[in-house]
Structure 1
Amino acid sequence: MASLENLAVIVTGGAGGLGKAIATAFLAAGSQVAVCDVSAPRIAEVTTEWEASHSGKFIAATADITDEAASQAFVDSVVAKFGKLDMLINNAGIMDSFDPIGTTDKTVWDRVMNVNVTGLFLMTKAAVNGTMAGAAYTASKHAVLGLTKNTAGFYGDKGIYSIVLLVGAMTNTNIVDAFALSAPNQANMGVSHQLNPGFNPATTGVPLEDVAKYCIFYADRNVAHASNGSTITVNKNWPVA
């Protein structure tokens, strides 16, 4: 495993839930970590927490990744502080309301696609340029796969690798914050559970720390090169294959 000492890593949505777990794992390994999040209170909380143990090794900033200027400014600030950018982890994402296409409100569709696809696009665009300088839910995730394959194909020979972790159900992330904006369709959540039965948080829920370990694993450039363009399933076999 390559050394992670002073690796420069960005984690979007990194001030809570899975993002924080990933960021914490990299900080513990000696990396320089930059997190952005739309929640100012969460940013303030991790700043206080990490200042005591990782002072000078992190950036924590409130940023809206769906805003191109904000995304670019955040990446620029990372490169300015760390002198480089080695790895981007597009963790930020929100849920829809479990409505099927016939009853999905366009505002929900726009919000989910804006964060899960456009935000990923803008951050990846800014990160790729920074690196070159040296320095509705289901549809959105399929779009991510396409963008990943495209990025892997066009930038692999430049040493920029793109990999997707297909993460299963997690019970302690911040993704449910989206429900504050649009209450879930309880009936359709029930249909979803019927179509994908057997979820048990104790046995099929994926621990945040385990997902973070995959991110650490793919920080090894040789490993990332070997898996460039791949989709890696991390779901404890739920739904059952």
Structure 2
Amino acid sequence: MAKTILVTGAAGGLGKAIATAFLAAGDNVVICDVNPQRIASVEEEWAKSYAGRFLTKQADVTDETSVQGLIDAAASQFGRLDVLVNNAGIMDGFEPVGAISKEKWDRVLNVNLNGPFLTTRAAIAQFEKQEPAGGVIINIGSIASIHGFKSGAAYAASKAALVALTKNTAGYYGDKGIYCMALLLGGMDTNITDAFAHGLHMEMFQKVQASQTPFTPERSVPLESVAKYCQFLTDPEIAPSANGSCILFNKNWPEA
């Protein structure tokens, strides 16, 4: 039976790869993004191959009203919601705590932590009221979730907090048939580095680089591999056992 999947920040990069994999498997997919042009481009691309099985929405995951509208639209279009993938995220500029502005700190925490909080809360309400009840939440974390010196202070703090949110959600809702897990990803070829266009704290960046084996393209985690892992975790026989898991998926970079 086809599932309904919601992927945030999915008009490009990893989110789009995850959404496309579920569509190719026959599931229904809802994606959102803050960029209307990117959303329109994806809608045009998918129209011929996946007509009737996807919904695109411009939405801001940091806005409570926008998030509720997104969840309601998904349930209205396809009758229920089965999976939420919290993919939307932004990078900092590798600023240490003494150098980052309050504005940038708030922005990174707002998208990377408040966003998953709002979408998770709204999705759980939908999971609980539908028949049959239940659902799966996959949070896209990072090696920075467990290694504090792999990014700037704001990004590291946001992704570490996402692990705590994952485990807390799994602990309370698991016996209700609502499962939550996180993928802690290594380096990937995505558009998250667009943040560096607004400035890079070079001293911090160089210290982080010097503390580990340099990242090279062959160490990049393929987007398609992450998408397959997301599909695996939503299998009804796998999700209960994976509940609460925070899985390092990093092509062994940085080395264990």
The TM-score bracket by the shorter chain reads over 0.9
Give the structure 1 partner of residue 185 of structure 2: 167
2:80 to 80, 84, 104: 84
Counterpart contact for 1:66–1:114, Cα < 8 Å = yes
Give the structure 2 partner of residue 218 of structure 1: 233
Return the alpha-carbon distance in structure 2 between the equivalents of residues 174 and 221 of structure 1.
32
1:36 to 32, 38, 44: 32
Q: Which has the higher strand share?
A: 2
- Give structure 1 regions of 4+ aligned residues with deviation exceeding 4 angstroms: none
Return the alpha-carbon distance in structure 2 between the equivalents of residues 156 and 233 of structure 1.
21
Please report how far the alpha carbon of residue 177 of structure 1 lies from its aligned counterpart in structure 2 after TM superposition: 2.9
Give the structure 1 partner of residue 156 of structure 2: 138
Q: Note the alpha carbon deviations across 1:39-79, whole angstroms, 9 max, x for none.
A: 11110110001111000100111100000010011000000
Counterpart contact for 1:97–1:108, Cα < 8 Å = no
Give the structure 1 partner of residue 167 of structure 2: 149
What TM-score do you get using the length of structure 2 for normalisation? 0.89
Return the alpha-carbon distance in structure 2 between the equivalents of residues 80 and 11 of structure 1.
16
2:204 to 166, 188, 194: 188
Give the structure 1 partner of residue 109 of structure 2: 113
Q: Does 1:103 align with 2:118?
A: no
- The one-letter amino acid paired with 1:183 is G
Counterpart contact for 1:6–1:32, Cα < 8 Å = yes
Q: Note the alpha carbon deviations across 1:206-233, whole angstroms, 9 max, x for none.
A: 0100000100101102211001001111
Return the alpha-carbon distance in structure 2 between the equivalents of residues 190 and 15 of structure 1.
31
Return the alpha-carbon distance in structure 1 between the equivalents of residues 212 and 225 of structure 2.
22
Give the structure 2 partner of residue 55 of structure 1: 51
Please report how far the alpha carbon of residue 235 of structure 1 lies from its aligned counterpart in structure 2 after TM superposition: 0.2
| Aligned sequence identity (%) | 53
1:73 to 51, 54, 69: 69
Q: How many residue pairs end up in the alignment?
A: 234
Q: Does 1:23 align with 2:19?
A: yes
Q: What is the RMSD of the two structures over their aligned residues, measured on CA atoms?
A: 1.1
